[in-house]
Amino acid sequence: MKKIIVSAPGKLMLLGEHAVVYDRPCIVTAVDQRLSAEIFLTESGEFSMHAPDVSITDYKKSLAEIGKGEIPKAAAFIERALVNFKEKYPFDEGLEVRTKSEFSSSFGFGSSSASTVCLVKALSEVFEKNLSDKEIFDLSYKTVLDVQGVGSGFDIAAAVYGGTVYFLTGGKKIEPLHVKDFDLVVGYSGTKADTTTIVKEIAKKRDENKPKIDGIFSEIEVLVEKGKICMNESDWEGFGRIMNENQTLLSQLGVSTEKLDAMIEGALSAGAYGAKLSGAGGGDCMIALCPKEKIEDVKSSIKNANGEIIEIKVNTEGVSID
Ligand code: PMV
């Protein structure tokens, strides 16, 4: 029985969410909380999956049946990735997949994308296909679109490439940024809204008032370009100001919440350079970029606003064979 262990990082959107769905760039960083997958090739002719973190235990079907019938949501990404890989690079072996996550799937750290990337990387390795990062990205992104229909693919890019990445919709540009480490405090608001639902809500708003929403997206694009320059120059004060402007635009899109606003206010009043929600919004996480000496004060302020601090490091390694 051949076995391989692969892990991929979670991610945090730094600038550009929502606009990136509409052909604009964003900046995303990989975090040190990882998802790992053990993959065994078997003689069984079966696909089986165990992912206790998302309540999948002893999920099994014959290889001939993969991609067919009822598929639990939490197994869908792995199963679809397997179907897509097998279509391109046919094989007959059975496969057992076991995933384990260092982060809760209720944080928007991208567990589905990370698990998809892990599987594609593992299959590439185990069948000696030697896929490039871009090939792993493309196959994983296709999988995500097959399963959820929407998404820019930024989370896949973070899982594959790691570090901090300037990213254009669908991977038209994936540019690793050479940044020095920076300090980000992350606060979880206690609720996770469904990303696909919010992305669809924004699409509806755009249908109703295209000039307004596209105008906001274009302003976000300008901020991302400025942010990229600040990041290359390690101008964290400048980057923080841009985060604040991005947050104002996200509020105009209607995706911030009172709770997120309170946590962001708290972080800024405690001395953060900048703070904003991260991801689709409607709950989930906020991030604050901080001078080192203010980190503890910023954390306390976020906690005072009833946020939960998630300890992470940014700019970490992409998918790897462990
Ligand atoms: O909610 P998250 O962390 O998965 O981020 C979603 C970011 C969006 O730009 C709203 C969607 C996307 O696929 O880029």
Q: How far apart are CA 260 and CA 277, in angstroms?
A: 7
Pocket probe mutation, ligand 1, options 143, 144, 155, max atoms within 8 Å of Cβ:
155
| Ligand 1 neighbours by CB, cut-off 6 Å | 13, 17-18, 20-21, 108, 151-152, 154-155, 195, 199, 279-280
Q: What are phi and psi of 101, to 5 degrees?
A: -115, 140
Q: How far apart are CA 299 and CA 121, in angstroms?
A: 36
Pocket probe mutation, ligand 1, options 15, 20, 287, max atoms within 8 Å of Cβ:
20
The atom number, within ligand 1, closest to the CA of 151 reads 13
Q: What is the pLDDT of residue 110?
A: 87
DSSP state letter for 183: -
26 CB-near residues (< 8 Å, 6+ apart): 13, 14, 15, 16, 17, 19, 20, 152, 154, 166, 167, 224
Q: What is the pLDDT of residue 137?
A: 98
The rounded Å distance from CA 279 to ligand 1 centre is 5
Is 77's pLDDT higher than 90? yes
Mean pLDDT of the chain: 96
Is 1's pLDDT higher than 90? no
The rounded Å distance from CA 287 to ligand 1 centre is 15
Pocket probe mutation, ligand 1, options 14, 15, 17, max atoms within 8 Å of Cβ:
17
The rounded Å distance from CA 280 to ligand 1 centre is 5
The atom number, within ligand 1, closest to the CA of 18 reads 9
pLDDT tens digit sequence for 36-55: 999 999 998 899 999 998 89
What sign results for the dihedral spanned by CA atoms 112, 117, 120, 121?
A: negative
8 A C-beta contact, residue 237 and residue 182: no
DSSP state letter for 317: B
Binned at pLDDT 50, 70 and 90, residue 193 comes out as confident
Q: What is the pLDDT of residue 108?
A: 81
The percent of residues above 90 in pLDDT, for the chain, comes to: 90
Which residue, by CA, sits nearest to atom 2 of ligand 1? 279
Beta carbons within 10 angstroms of residue 128's beta carbon: 7
Q: What are phi and psi of 45, to 5 degrees?
A: 70, 15
Is 167's pLDDT higher than 80? yes
Residue 125 to residues 117, 119, 151, 186, 320, Cα–Cα distance (Å): 12, 10, 27, 34, 11
pLDDT tens digit sequence for 240-260: 999 999 999 999 999 999 999
The rounded Å distance from CA 38 to ligand 1 centre is 27
Which residue, by CA, sits nearest to atom 3 of ligand 1? 279
8 A C-beta contact, residue 36 and residue 98: no
Binned at pLDDT 50, 70 and 90, residue 106 comes out as confident
pLDDT tens digit sequence for 273-312: 999 999 999 999 999 999 999 999 999 999 999 999 999 9
The percent of residues above 70 in pLDDT, for the chain, comes to: 100
The rounded Å distance from CA 181 to ligand 1 centre is 23
